[in-house]
Amino acid sequence: MFREYAQYDGLGLADLIRQKEVSPSEVLEAALERASALNPELNAIVHTFAERARRMAEDVSGEGLFSGVPFLFKDLMDDFAGEPMSMGSLAVKRIPDRHSELVRRYMDTGLIPFGKTSTPEFGLTITTEPKAFGPVHNPWKRGYSTGGSSGGSAAVVAAGIVPMASANDGGGSIRFPAACCGVFGFKPSRGLTPVGPEFGEPWEGAVTGHVITRSVRDSAAMLDAVSGPEVGAAYRVARLERSCLKACAEDPRPLRIAFSSRPMISTAVHPEALKGLESTVRLLQNMGHKVEEAAPSIDRNRFWKDFMVVVCAHTAALCHKVRQWGGPEAVRRLEPATRNMAAMGKSLSSLDFVLAKEGWHGVQLAMGRFLETWDVFLTPTLIGPPAAHGEIPPSPMEEKLLVAGSWLPGGAFLLKSGLAKPFAAPTLNRMAFTICGNMTGLPGMSLPLHETAEGLPLGMLFTGRMGEDATLFALAGQVERARPWLHNRPPLAAFSGKP
């Protein structure tokens, strides 16, 4: 048995396989053994196809960048032909007949997938506690959230089940769970990674797919491998001019870094987030970067409403598809919060939608102008420590009100007047730093740079200029060398194999 499996990142495992020090089958069995031992505690893997993976491992050519490396797909957007896709919902069970384009590119690197990771229903909330599968436990402390919506992926990476797992980010869903689980999460620039053919412009371009990893170099290497133009895409992008993998191995020039603790939604920031930000500022200054307090000028009252208008409209469209797939009974199986968001989206006018998109453009312009002066913008990823289970999802009484509200007219008024905010606040407020990256399409990354007094991770968020993903990777590599985290192991990852 390959007991040293969890000590390696993806590139490290691929190199061992390439040098024939270990076989792809041995590596896969080590991953499957860890999954079998740890997932009952984590509840992060919702579907497996181990025998299919074993057949793939026997046929590894060794030519791909990650040939023979075990992998897990998020159960949302990443269609893997022949395996069910539930999207975190009791109402959906699709079996795609072809890979999505991003999955195809993942597979071209030689990965060996063996299952799917949990996500909240349709990826709509910032904690992974779906009714369909139950809550995912944070590897650092059972009973606490892994974040969302890629919470299952972040948990399996933090626990060392796989060195990387697929993820997607529409409001913070790569960066947020990475911050909760103490791993590295990078959201690429808009359009850099494919979303088709099932999707053209999910959430008006807010959604981007990539991977959650332990090491910076795995994320960089994967982005180099999968980025580039896609047939039928809304955005025509070329591959990055500079290799992200090469960038993360070299220290960047001294950067101009602005930092701020002021969230873009009116909410309080926990002292632990402020403590982590202060520590990160000192670290960056000691590295020779120019770090000063500054922030873009953004209308915080309009910011959250414009985001919610677009997301609710897209949720309404998705629920319309659910009705087409499974009829009214499928819609009734949707979670109350999903049905309520769909009802609000359905009540919106085309004018509401266009005005909201104009608001998005205002944020894009503000950030673009701000980053003419600064190379990078630093904030906490989270407004506070990971939440306990049950803290973010609606209570039973709130769910009854949401169900009732989904049958009533006036959803658009609730959104525009701000009356909907109290129901959305547990999720929305926690996304106060991450949403900006989705509205603007700017690249961003969460680095595991702070640990709370209770021993829970709390990441720091770095946002860069459009298309300058390599600059962020250069900074990430430098920070990782200064304050390594690769071998940090959470309590629920304590497993070394059978004696």
- Give the active site residues: 74, 149, 173
Position 461: which residue type?
L
| Cβ atoms of residues 80 and 103 within 8 Å | yes
Q: How far apart are the first and last CA of the chain?
A: 9
Max Cα separation, the chain?
Answer: 65
Determine the Cα–Cα distance for residues 199 and 100; give it in Å rounded to an integer.
Answer: 9
Interhelix angle 24-42/10-18, rounded to 10 degrees, is 150
Q: Give the helix/strand (H/E) hosting 57.
A: helix 50-57
Q: Which of 199, 203, 280, 208 is nearest to 447 (CA)?
A: 280
What tokens appear for 50 in the block? 């181990």
Both tokens assigned to 341: 């968001």
Q: Measuring CA to CA, how many Å separate 44 from each of 122, 128, 212?
A: 16, 9, 14
- Nearest-angstrom CA–CA distance, 451 and 71: 27
Task: Give kind and range of the element (H or E) at residue 48.
Answer: strand 45-48
Pairing of strands 70-74, 112-117: parallel
Residue 186 — φ and ψ, nearest 5°? -120, 125
Amino acid (one-letter) located at 69: V
Dihedral sign for Cα 143, 146, 152, 153, please. negative
Which one, of 208, 106, 174, lies nearest residue 466 by Cα?
208
In the block, residue with structure tokens 């947020």: 176
Q: Where are any strands of DSSP class E within 273-403?
A: 290-293, 376-380
Given a contact cutoff of 8 angstroms between Cβ atoms, the answer to whether 205 and 166 are in contact is no
Sign of CA dihedral 385, 389, 390, 392: positive
Identify which of 261, 227, 229 has the alpha carbon closest to the alpha carbon of residue 469. Answer: 227
Rounded (10°) CA dihedral 213, 214, 215, 221: -20
Q: Mutual orientation of helices 336-347 and 300-332 as an angle, nearest 10°?
A: 120
CB 443 within 8 Å of CB 468: yes
Question: Could you tell me where the beta strands, DSSP code E, fall in 127-259?
Answer: 164-169, 184-187, 208-213, 256-259
**Is there a contact between 167 and 173 (Cβ–Cβ < 8 Å)?**
yes
Which tokens hold the place of 235? 């955005």
